[in-house]
C-alpha cells in the first residue's frame, strides 16, 4: 500500500511539473516604454505592451508539411543584443539619415531561430531556418488580438488579385471578421486609448506577400498560393489555372520576411521608417547613376497640347513628345514618360508607333538634358527579358512596368528579377499595378517608385477624404506614385472630367501641396504642358519642390481629415497642409521653431482663395519675411490645401 501511494505521489509531481508555467523571455524598447514578453509553449506566444499601456496578444508560427516552427518550441539558447546604427538610404524620400536603434531577443530552437526586435516605436519578428533541403511553407500564423474598442482602417480587395487601388474602409474591429473581406498591407488600427498601430512586412524576397484576415478580435495572416500553371488572359496578364497547396517554396537555410507593428501617434506612424530599417542593405555597389526627380507625363492629360505655339496635331507623336521635352527642359524636370501609346502594340517593346521616333526623341532629350522612361506591361517584359540591355543601349533611362496585380511568390520573384536586371543596365524602374513596398526599393534603389495606390488616374473616384489616409498607410511604408499636379480643380459636387480636359477633386492649393506631402523618388507632373504654361507661378513652384528630403517633421496630423508637414532639403524648408471635406474652412497655425536661429527666410506660399470652398480654382500667392519662432496663420478650405517654401535670405 505504501509503495502504491509513493508511486501515485511521484506521478502527481511529474504531472504538475509538466504543466508548470512555461519560461518567458522579455525584451523592452531602448527607451523602456514598450515591452514584449515571449512565451514558447504549445505555440510561440507574445504579449506586446505599448508606451500608452495597451496590450496586444499574438502568436507567431511558420507552418510546413512536417513541422510547425514556433509550436512546442524547445529553446536551446536565448540571446539579447542591442544595435544602434545610422544609415543613409540611396533615395531618401523621408529623411537622408535614419537611426536604427533596437533591442533584439533571439531564441535558438534547434533547426530555427526566431528573432524579436523592439524599437521605441515598433516591434518586429522573423523566423530564421536551418533546414538542409528546400522548404514548402504552407502558411504562417501571425495572429494578433487587440482591445475590443479598436477601429480598423483597411484596404479590402475581393481576392488576392488586386491592383491595391481599392478605397479605404473604416470599421470597428468586431465587424472585421472571418466572413468579411481580407485586407492588403499596410493596415492601420486606432486603439481605444488613442494610440495607432501600423502593420506591414519588410525584407520580402522569394516569398509570398502577406494579407490580413479579420477575426473579430484582431487579425491573422493570409497568403496567395504558388501558381503552377498559367493561361492566356489578354495582352497584359495571365490566368492562374493551377495553384500549389503551399504559399512559398524556398531554401531551408534563410531568414524569412519581417512582420512588424509600428505604434505611436499619427505623426509617429507617418514618419516611421521600419520598412527601410528591416530591409537588407543595398545590392547595387555604385548607385551614383540613380537620379530621382520629376517626370512630365502624357497619359493623364491625353497627350493634349494646344495654343499659339502649337502648330501640329497633338497626340502620341514625335512633335508632341518633343513639346513635352521642351517643357521639361525649361523647368528643370529630369524625365518624360512615354506611356501606353508610344509602341505600335503592347506586345512588342521594340517597334514604336509609326508616328513616334523613339531614337530621335532620345537624341533630342539628351540634347535638352531630359531622360526618357518607357511604359511596358509586365507580360511583355517577361516575354522579352533581353530588352533591358537593348533599351539601355538605345539610351532609355527607365521603365514604367504595369499590371502585375498580384503578390504571390512567382510575382515577387519577377519583381526581383526585373530590379536586378534593370540595375545591371542602369535603368530605373517604376512599378505600377503592384502591391506596397516591402524592402525591394531599399535593396535595389533603382526601383524608384511604386504605384499600388488609389491615385489621381482614378479621376473622380479619387477624393481628399481617401487620400488623407495615405500619409499614415500606403505612403508610410515607402514611395508612392500618386501622380499629382492637376491644374483644373473642382469641388466634388461640381466635378466632371473627360480627356483631354482632365481635372481633379480638391482645390488648386491642395494639388500643389501634394508635391510636398506625398513621397516618391519619381514624382509626376500629371497635367499638360499647356496647362502649366497658363499657370506659370504654380508651375515654377511645383517644379522646384524636391523629390528627396533630408528631414521630415509632422506639424499636425488627423488621419482622414488633416495633415500638415514640414520637410527640409539642404537649408530650405517646404511646408504643406491638406484637408478633407468637412468644415467649410479650417483655421490653423504653426510655429517656425524648426528654422535656424538668427536667420531670416523669404517665405512664398499658396493658399486657398476666399471662394475656394465653392470654386476650387481660387488661390492666392503671397510672400513674407520670417524667422525662427514666428507664428504662421493659415486658413484651409474644405478639400483644400496650403503650401509654401522658406528660403534663407543671403
Q: If residue 428 lies in a helix (H) or strand (E), which one and from where to where? A: strand 428-431
Distances (CA, A) of 218 to 59, 129, 223, 265: 12, 27, 17, 20
Q: Give the C-alpha separation, 333 to 336, whole Å.
A: 8
- Element at 375 (helix H, strand E): strand 371-377
3-state secondary structure string across 313-337: CCCCCHHHHHHHHHHHHHCCCCEEE
Residues 509, 607 contacting (CB under 8 angstroms): yes
SS3 for 517-562 is HCCCCEEEECCCHHHHHCCHHHHHHHHHCCCCCCEEEEEEEECCCE
Cα distance from N-terminal residue to C-terminal residue, the chain: 101
Beta partners for 61? 141
The helix/strand/coil state of 504 is strand
Quote the CA–CA distance of 454 and 461 in Å, as a whole number.
8
Backbone angles phi, psi at 111, to 5 degrees: -75, -5
What is the separation of C-alpha 177 from the centre of its chain, rounded to a whole number of angstroms?
26
Alpha-carbon gap, residue 337 to 327, rounded angstroms: 13
Active site (annotated) includes residue 141: no
Give dist(CA 262, CA 278) in Å, integer.
Answer: 12
Q: Compute CA distances 394 → 154, 194, 371, 424, whole Å.
A: 43, 55, 12, 15
Active-site position among 54, 120, 457, 607: 457
CA–CA separation, 414 vs 399, rounded Å? 15
CB 619 within 8 A of CB 609: yes
Provide the grid cell at 480: 508612392
Listed in order, strand segments (DSSP E) in 203-351 are 211-214, 218-222, 227-232, 238-243, 248-255, 258-264, 293-297, 335-338
How far is 572 from 599, CA to CA, in rounded Å? 12
Task: Say how far apart CA 368 and CA 385 lie, in whole Å.
Answer: 30
498 in catalytic set:
no
Q: Is 108 exposed, middle or buried (0-12, 13-18, 19+ CB in 10 A)?
A: middle
* Catalytic residue of the set 54, 195, 298, 402: 402
For residues 539 and 331, give the distance between their C-alpha atoms in angstroms, rounded to a whole number.
8
Strands 504-505 and 522-525: unpaired
Active site amino acids: 402, 457
Amino acid at each position: 500500500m505504501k509503495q502504491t501511494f509513493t508511486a501515485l505521489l511521484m506521478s502527481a509531481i511529474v504531472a504538475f511539473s509538466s504543466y508548470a508555467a512555461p519560461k518567458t523571455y522579455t525584451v523592452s524598447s531602448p527607451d523602456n516604454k514598450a515591452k514584449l514578453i515571449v512565451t514558447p509553449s504549445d505555440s510561440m506566444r507574445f504579449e506586446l505592451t505599448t508606451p500608452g499601456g495597451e496590450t496586444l496578444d499574438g502568436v507567431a508560427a511558420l507552418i510546413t508539411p512536417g513541422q510547425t516552427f514556433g509550436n512546442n518550441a524547445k529553446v536551446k539558447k536565448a540571446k539579447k543584443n542591442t544595435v544602434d546604427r545610422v544609415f543613409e538610404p540611396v533615395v531618401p524620400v523621408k529623411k537622408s539619415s535614419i537611426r536604427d536603434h533596437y533591442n533584439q531577443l533571439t531564441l535558438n530552437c534547434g533547426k530555427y531561430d526566431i528573432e524579436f526586435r523592439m524599437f521605441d516605436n515598433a516591434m518586429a519578428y522573423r523566423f530564421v531556418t536551418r533546414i538542409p533541403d528546400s522548404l514548402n511553407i504552407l502558411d504562417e500564423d501571425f495572429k494578433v488580438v487587440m482591445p475590443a474598442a479598436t477601429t480598423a482602417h483597411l484596404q479590402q480587395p475581393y481576392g488576392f488579385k488586386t491592383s491595391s487601388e481599392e478605397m479605404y474602409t473604416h470599421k470597428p474591429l468586431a465587424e472585421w471578421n472571418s466572413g468579411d473581406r481580407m485586407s492588403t498591407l499596410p493596415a492601420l488600427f486606432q486603439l481605444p486609448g488613442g494610440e495607432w498601430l501600423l502593420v506591414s512586412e519588410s525584407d520580402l524576397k522569394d516569398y509570398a506577400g502577406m494579407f490580413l484576415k479579420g477575426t473579430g478580435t484582431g487579425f491573422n495572416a493570409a497568403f496567395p498560393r504558388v501558381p503552377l500553371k498559367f493561361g492566356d488572359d489578354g495582352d497584359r496578364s495571365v490566368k492562374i489555372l493551377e495553384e500549389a497547396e503551399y504559399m512559398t517554396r524556398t531554401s531551408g537555410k534563410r531568414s524569412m520576411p519581417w512582420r512588424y507593428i509600428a505604434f505611436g501617434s499619427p505623426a509617429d506612424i507617418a514618419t516611421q521608417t521600419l520598412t527601410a530599417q528591416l530591409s537588407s542593405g543595398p545590392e547595387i555597389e555604385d548607385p551614383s547613376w540613380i537620379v530621382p526627380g520629376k517626370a512630365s507625363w502624357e497619359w493623364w492629360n491625353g497627350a493634349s497640347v494646344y495654343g499659339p505655339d502649337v502648330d501640329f496635331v497633338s497626340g502620341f507623336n514625335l512633335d508632341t513628345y518633343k513639346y513635352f521635352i521642351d517643357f521639361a527642359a525649361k523647368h528643370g524636370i529630369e524625365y518624360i514618360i512615354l506611356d501606353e501609346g508610344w509602341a505600335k502594340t503592347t506586345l512588342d517593346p521594340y517597334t514604336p508607333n509609326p508616328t513616334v521616333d523613339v531614337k530621335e526623341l532620345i537624341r533630342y532629350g539628351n540634347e535638352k538634358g531630359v531622360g526618357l522612361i518607357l511604359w511596358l506591361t509586365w507580360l511583355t517584359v517577361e516575354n522579352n527579358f533581353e530588352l533591358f540591355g537593348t533599351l539601355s543601349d538605345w539610351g532609355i533611362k527607365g521603365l514604367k512596368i504595369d499590371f502585375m496585380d498580384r503578390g504571390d511568390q512567382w510575382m515577387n520573384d519577377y519583381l526581383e528579377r526585373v530590379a536586378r536586371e534593370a540595375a545591371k543596365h542602369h535603368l530605373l524602374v517604376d512599378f505600377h499595378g503592384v502591391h506596397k513596398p516591402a524592402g525591394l526599393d531599399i535593396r535595389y534603389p533603382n526601383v524608384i517608385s511604386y504605384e499600388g495606390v488609389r491615385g489621381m488616374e482614378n479621376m473622380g473616384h479619387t477624393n481628399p477624404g481617401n487620400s488623407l489616409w495615405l500619409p499614415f498607410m500606403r505612403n508610410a511604408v515607402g514611395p508612392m506614385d500618386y501622380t499629382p499636379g492637376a491644374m483644373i480643380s473642382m469641388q466634388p459636387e461640381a466635378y466632371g472630367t473627360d480627356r483631354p480636359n482632365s481635372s481633379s477633386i480638391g482645390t488648386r492649393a491642395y494639388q500643389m501641396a501634394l508635391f510636398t506631402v506625398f513621397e516618391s523618388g519619381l514624382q509626376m507632373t500629371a497635367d499638360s504642358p499647356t496647362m502649366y504654361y497658363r499657370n506659370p507661378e504654380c508651375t515654377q513652384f511645383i517644379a522646384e519642390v524636391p523629390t528627396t528630403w533630408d528631414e521630415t517633421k509632422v506639424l499636425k496630423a488627423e488621419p482622414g481629415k488633416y495633415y500638415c508637414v514640414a520637410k527640409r532639403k539642404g537649408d530650405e524648408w517646404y511646408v504643406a497642409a491638406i484637408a478633407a471635406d468637412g468644415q467649410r474652412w479650417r483655421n490653423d497655425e504653426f510655429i517656425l521653431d524648426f528654422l535656424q536661429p538668427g536667420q531670416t527666410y523669404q517665405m512664398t506660399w499658396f493658399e486657398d482663395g476666399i471662394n475656394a470652398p465653392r470654386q476650387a480654382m481660387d488661390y492666392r500667392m503671397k510672400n513674407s519675411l520670417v524667422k525662427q519662432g514666428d507664428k504662421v496663420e493659415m486658413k484651409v478650405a474644405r478639400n483644400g490645401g496650403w503650401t509654401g517654401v522658406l528660403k534663407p535670405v543671403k
